[in-house]
Amino acid sequence: MAFMRYYRTLPQGETTAEEFKAWLSQFDADGDGRISREELEQALRSLNLWFAWWKARDAVRAADANHNGKVDGDEVGRLYAFAHKHLHLKMSQLED
């Protein structure tokens, strides 16, 4: 029995850091305005990325400048840079 899963994905083409931040904020499960490794993992899973756990760990490590285990404030910009450089995020149509 087949069913469709609709993923909220990144906008097509150029994604600004602000758009990335807005997209990411929907995965802020506890609503604290910070992205934890677990929350980032969910975000990556929603894009059907392989090895989401691994990639989320590496991404948070790269972005978490103050080593508090969360990506917040200016660190989102670092995460954005890391995602574009290393994760090859699929840019598909925004389901909204």
- Binding footprint of Ca ion on the chain (CB under 5 A): 64, 66, 68, 70
Minimum Å distance from CB 18 to Ca ion?
19
* Shorter beta-carbon distance to Ca ion: residue 35 or 47: 35
The DSSP code for 32 is: S
* Shorter beta-carbon distance to Ca ion: residue 11 or 57: 57
CA 20 – CA 62 distance, rounded (Å) = 17
Bridge partner list, 71:
35
Q: Which residues contact 1 (CB under 8 A, 6 or more apart)?
A: none
* Shorter beta-carbon distance to Ca ion: residue 12 or 66: 66
